[in-house]
């Protein structure tokens, strides 16, 4: 333990272990905690966050990093990458003064509370000043991070969610997608309209039966019950730790598909966590490669695998077994139900073709908000104009417009692109996996994701955080982010 | 925050908040965690324990304590008591060198694992050397604590579980109880034998129905669902935090009484936590007054209130409602079922009259083990001799003898007396409460514990840790521990 790098690995392991505790308490707060425990839980999470932050910003860390970097030639590639990520984490933490961290946490927390009321009342004016303050502090943080990381202010924010890709890479990809969508969406709608409407299966679907089905399908997809739980929460998510993953969903007794597809989505996240390199557990290089990479793993399971024709054939049998025979349970009818394009106001309800439009809008607006080109007072108008331009719809009120997502109101700026980068990466990875492992679709017809999962474990999961987003794709698929696999996927699925 | 006492309260609050996080993770490990999460959870709990310990033993704490004590005259009574408890906690933590803490943790953990196997095989020899090592380190800790606290080595260990009472107080009380028991037990058995055997109600009792009944009865006893949960675990316990109490039980479908009485017991613990003074939350003085005090609160609910005749009358109706009419559900039959004396080998299965004999045995043996008067190799023989002398039975093997409890094998020496001190205190408090609040039994007949609970909140719960065990009883009942209320209770219940 006298080598500075060894001391750093111990320190980062300690920090990660504190963060594991916080992750479990976050899961508990969402899935288990009685309401009366909320105030104490907030304190517990704040203290743990403070303790983790202290580990990273202790005065000795800078010296240890410098000393370890001076001897980095003696480390292998993985440990060199780990040391670079330690430096990166330290740069980010050190760049922002403690009082700015605190001020931002307070402003975010205050804004988030007001946002809930503003959204409920569809009254943007209520939260406008809070949001302006949140954005002012986001701008301050971006300005502090920018020189430390050698990135533009907005890219410095994006980097906090996904390393290895910036706005200059994303903007042309999104512009090209917008052009694709203007052509593809009306065609997809016309094709859909020309077909008979899918039959909705008879409900109700009792929550307990849905839960048992979700558990079975998630296990069949490879998530081991020895290392995971499935519970209920208001907002589905995947939390916990790599050896103890906690996924949640909610059940609507009139519709089985929300919970089932939601659980398969979270199962994709969970499988990524399960496949991270155990040899580098609790080290930066052993973590997932970022939010876009994580979303690529949930979407490759949910959108690419589980909404594919062969898998829908398997699912039809499972549904009949769970809920009783219904002629709605056949592959082509399920395809009609579960692969429907629909222009809408709400991002989280969007299908895979229109979803990127929601993200493109937010990506453009948040850059303008950070640069100051867009004032907060002008946000609702700019939002509605953007929706009209991208999807040809105008939200009836701000609750269905710029108030719908918590992200900005909680200080999360630079996160939105990850959703669509993940969707595009999922298509790119799926195309490469199909080329490399020909039996993937045959197995999917049996509900067996093992051939796909084997390839993902080798090419993505086991790589941890060694590579940034574009380099990970390059190593796995032979090219950096290339949205043509995503548009080819959509063309085949919706315009065939 | 410049006053040293204010800095100390912030430090102790931080430590308590870390301990709250650990408590929640401990609950999760027992009630929720998949088996594969065990290793990571062990690390998380160890890191949190280390962080809490660092808060208490930071070099600056000694200076802050001295400075605060120099100005203690400016504090009110509660805060003076709090400062004394801070000093006490610091003395305990500071007296034991870090390497001894670590060595003991390792030895306890190793011994506990071997103990599980030894108990399963009823083979004491397997764990003998581990236990000897555990006890050697316990003795070292006792020797380090003794001069720091000005207590005998054994009392210094007891003090870790219950302040304010020592072996010199306990020994004569236990000797007197032994004499009472030699007379009372055969008489109680004779009375019981002369009565018709109670009718056992028809099962099975589905776990879900038992759980719903337990939830109803616990809520009726005053435990609010806004601030508590009831879940399942292998070993029932009460954990969590004062605003978010987590109780657990297990269900045997052939017998409703284990879970129901177990839940009322844990409800007693939970109500104590709920009633602690919120103004001193996360301060030493705001905590429960110790393990014996805690046990007095579980036992006053379970044994004094819920096994009383009026409450059994109420329970009979609840049981019929939950499981269907059965002529076993009447007050006097339930009394026969739930208040049965029985000489047995196992402490946790013992009735309230013979339970103290199990504790007296352990109290005597653990003092002899700590002093060295009893060698580990001689423990099984001494145990069996003691059981014969106290209860007239000899365990058929060590699994039913000296291997039955985890405590010693996990390094917990000085804890056992708390169970019986709690039982005696429960009787003493109940007698005082009945004198002060005449309607207690009328309310119990309606399942209403509010009159009793109101008195307990005022006299015990809201007092936090301001008073040690004997002083708490003195303030609440007008006298220090007086076992005559307990023997009077047993006499009325079993010899009437």
Q: Judge whether A28 is closer than 8 Å to chain B, CB to CB.
A: yes
Could you give the CA distance from residue A21 to residue B41 in angstroms, rounded to a whole number? Answer: 8
Nearest to A44 among B21, B43, B227 (CB): B21
- Spatial neighbors of A439 by CB under 8 A, at least 6 apart, are A451
- How far is residue B340 from each of residues B191, B335, B350, B487, measured CA to CA in Å? 11, 8, 9, 16
| Tokens of residue A274, six digits | 């399960």
CB A456 within 8 A of CB A433: yes
Best probe of the B interface among A16, A43, A224, A286, by most B CBs < 10 A, is A43
Residue A1 predicted with pLDDT over 70: no
B365-415: pLDDT as tens digits: 999 999 999 999 999 999 999 999 999 999 999 999 999 999 999 999 999
Nearest to A40 among B20, B48, B229 (CB): B20
Say what the ipTM of the complex is. 0.94
DSSP string over B262-301: HHHHHHHHHHHHHHS-GGGTTSGGGS-S-HHHHHHHHHII
Find the DSSP H helices in A409-468. 417-436, 440-444, 450-459
What's the mean pLDDT in A122-140? Answer: 98
Q: Judge whether A132 is closer than 8 Å to chain B, CB to CB.
A: no
Interface touch A32/B228, C-beta < 8 Å: no
Nearest to B265 by CA among B288, B236, B285: B236
Interface touch B28/A24, C-beta < 8 Å: yes
Q: Judge whether A51 is closer than 8 Å to chain B, CB to CB.
A: yes
Burial of B35 per CB tally in 10 Å (0-12, 13-18, 19+): exposed
Q: What is the pLDDT of residue A473?
A: 98
What's the mean pLDDT in A135-145? Answer: 98
Q: Judge whether B48 is closer than 8 Å to chain A, CB to CB.
A: yes
Interface touch B21/A17, C-beta < 8 Å: no
Interface touch B244/A25, C-beta < 8 Å: no
Coil, helix or strand at residue A204: coil
**Beta sheet of B228-232, edge-to-edge order:** B228-232, B244-249, B238-241
Q: What percent of chain B has pLDDT over 70?
A: 100
At residue B261 the predicted structure's pLDDT band, cuts being 50, 70 and 90, is: very high
What's the mean pLDDT in B120-143? Answer: 98
The phi, psi pair for A364, rounded to 5°, reads: -70, -45
DSSP state of B478: S
As a whole number, the mean pLDDT across chain B is: 97
Q: Which residue of A has its CA nearest to B54?
A: A51
At residue B202 the predicted structure's pLDDT band, cuts being 50, 70 and 90, is: confident
A240 contact residues in B (CB cutoff 8 A)? 37
A24 contact residues in B (CB cutoff 8 A)? 24-25, 28, 44
Question: How far does B35 lie from chain A, in Å, by closest CA?
Answer: 6
Q: Which residue of A has its CA nearest to B228?
A: A34
Partner B, chain A 221-240, Cβ-Cβ below 8 Å: 224-229, 240
Interface touch A225/B48, C-beta < 8 Å: no
Coil, helix or strand at residue A294: helix
CB A337 within 8 A of CB A198: yes
| Tokens of residue B67, six digits | 């400075």
| Number of other residues whose CB lies within 10 A of the CB of residue B50 | 15
A201-254: pLDDT as tens digits: 988 999 999 999 999 999 999 999 999 999 999 999 999 999 999 999 999 999
Interface touch B40/A226, C-beta < 8 Å: no
Q: Can you say whether the dihedral through the CA atoms of A159, A164, A169, A174 is positive or negative?
A: negative
What's the mean pLDDT in A167-189? Answer: 98
Query: Which residue bears the tokens 């440990």?
Result: A79
Q: Judge whether B215 is closer than 8 Å to chain A, CB to CB.
A: no
Q: Judge whether A49 is closer than 8 Å to chain B, CB to CB.
A: no
Q: Which residue of A has its CA nearest to B15?
A: A47
Q: Which residue of A has its CA nearest to B27?
A: A28
Residue A283 predicted with pLDDT over 70: yes
CB B111 within 8 A of CB B410: yes
A25 contact residues in B (CB cutoff 8 A)? 21, 24-25
Ordered domains of chain B (ranges, CATH): 4-159 (no CATH), 163-496 (1.10.1370.30)
Please name every residue paired with B232 in a beta bridge, in sequence order, or none if there are none. Answer: B249
CB A269 within 8 A of CB A391: no
Interface touch B24/A25, C-beta < 8 Å: yes
B147-196: pLDDT as tens digits: 999 999 999 999 999 999 999 999 999 999 999 999 999 999 999 999 99
Residue positions counted in chain B: 496
Could you give the CA distance from residue B87 to residue B92 in angstroms, rounded to a whole number? Answer: 9
Q: Which residue of B has its CA nearest to A281?
A: B40
Could you give the CA distance from residue A287 to residue B440 in angstroms, rounded to a whole number? Answer: 59
Query: Which residue bears the tokens 């110790």?
Result: B290
Coil, helix or strand at residue B283: coil
Q: What is the pLDDT of residue B13?
A: 98
Nearest to A226 by CA among B33, B232, B234: B33
What's the mean pLDDT in B438-467? Answer: 97
Interface touch A243/B39, C-beta < 8 Å: yes
Nearest to A35 among B32, B33, B226 (CB): B226
B208 contact residues in A (CB cutoff 8 A)? none
Residue positions counted in chain A: 496
Q: Judge whether B31 is closer than 8 Å to chain A, CB to CB.
A: no
B304-360: pLDDT as tens digits: 999 999 999 999 999 999 999 999 999 999 999 999 999 999 999 999 999 999 999
| Number of other residues whose CB lies within 10 A of the CB of residue A325 | 10
At residue B1 the predicted structure's pLDDT band, cuts being 50, 70 and 90, is: low
Could you give the CA distance from residue B54 to residue B75 in angstroms, rounded to a whole number? Answer: 26
Could you give the CA distance from residue B420 to residue B213 in angstroms, rounded to a whole number? Answer: 29
Interface touch A20/B243, C-beta < 8 Å: no
Could you give the CA distance from residue A206 to residue A441 in angstroms, rounded to a whole number? Answer: 31
| Number of other residues whose CB lies within 10 A of the CB of residue B58 | 12
Q: Judge whether B208 is closer than 8 Å to chain A, CB to CB.
A: no
Please name every residue paired with A239 in a beta bridge, in sequence order, or none if there are none. Answer: A246
DSSP state of A285: G
DSSP state of B276: S
Coil, helix or strand at residue A239: strand
* Residues of B labelled catalytic: 266
| Tokens of residue B449, six digits | 């514990």
Contacts by B341-344, CB closer than 8 A, 24 or more apart: B341/B185, B341/B188, B341/B189, B341/B192, B341/B494, B343/B185, B343/B391, B343/B392, B343/B393, B344/B391, B344/B393
Could you give the CA distance from residue A15 to residue A291 in angstroms, rounded to a whole number? Answer: 20
Q: What is the pLDDT of residue A496?
A: 87
């Amino acid at each position: 333990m006298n080598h500075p790098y060894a001391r750093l690995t111990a320190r980062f392991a300690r920090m990660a272990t504190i963060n594991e505790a916080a992750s479990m308490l976050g899961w508990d707060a969402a899935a288990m905690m009685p309401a009366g425990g909320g105030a104490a839980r907030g304190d517990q999470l704040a203290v743990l966050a403070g303790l983790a932050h202290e580990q990273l910003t202790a005065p000795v860390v800078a010296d240890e990093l410098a000393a370890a970097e001076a001897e980095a030639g003696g480390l292998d590639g993985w440990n060199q990458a780990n040391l670079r990520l330690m430096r990166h984490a330290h740069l980010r933490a050190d760049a922002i003064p403690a009082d700015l961290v605190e001020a931002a946490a307070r402003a975010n927390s205050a804004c988030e509370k007001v946002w809930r009321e503003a959204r409920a009342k569809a009254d943007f004016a209520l939260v406008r000043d809070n949001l302006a303050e949140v954005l002012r502090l986001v701008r301050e943080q971006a300005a502090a991070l920018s020189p430390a990381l050698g990135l533009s202010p907005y890219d410095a924010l994006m980097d906090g969610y996904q390393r290895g890709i910036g706005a200059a890479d994303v903007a042309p990809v999104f512009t090209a997608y917008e052009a694709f969508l203007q052509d593809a969406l009306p065609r997809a709608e016309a094709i859909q309209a020309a077909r008979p409407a899918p039959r909705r299966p008879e409900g109700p679907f009792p929550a307990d039966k849905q839960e048992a089905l979700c558990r079975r399908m998630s296990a069949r997809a490879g998530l081991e019950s020895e290392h995971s739980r499935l519970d209920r929460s208001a907002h589905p998510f995947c939390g916990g730790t790599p050896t103890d993953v906690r996924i949640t969903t909610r059940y609507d007794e009139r519709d089985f598909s929300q919970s089932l597809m939601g659980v398969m989505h979270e199962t994709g996240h969970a499988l990524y966590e399960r496949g991270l390199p155990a040899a580098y557990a609790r080290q930066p290089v052993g973590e997932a490669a970022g939010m876009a990479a994580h979303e690529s793993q949930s979407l490759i399971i949910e959108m690419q695998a589980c909404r594919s024709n062969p898998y829908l054939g398997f699912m039809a049998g499972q549904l009949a077994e769970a809920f009783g025979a219904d002629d709605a349970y056949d592959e082509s009818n399920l395809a009609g139900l579960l692969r429907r394009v629909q222009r809408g106001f709400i991002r989280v309800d969007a299908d895979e073709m229109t979803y990127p439009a929601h993200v493109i809008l937010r990506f453009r607006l948040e850059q303008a908000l950070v640069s100051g080109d867009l004032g907060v007072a002008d946000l609702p108008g700019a939002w509605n104009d953007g929706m009209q331009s991208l999807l040809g719809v105008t939200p009836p009120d701000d609750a269905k417009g710029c108030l719908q997502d918590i992200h900005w109101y909680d200080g999360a700026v630079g996160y939105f692109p990850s959703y669509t980068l993940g969707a595009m990466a999922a298509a790119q990875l799926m195309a490469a996996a199909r080329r490399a492992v020909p039996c993937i679709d045959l197995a999917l017809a049996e509900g067996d994701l093992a051939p796909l999962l084997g390839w993902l474990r080798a090419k993505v999961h086991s790589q941890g955080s060694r590579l940034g987003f574009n380099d990970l794709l390059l190593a796995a698929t032979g090219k950096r982010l290339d949205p043509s696999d995503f548009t080819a996927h959509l063309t085949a699925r919706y315009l065939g």
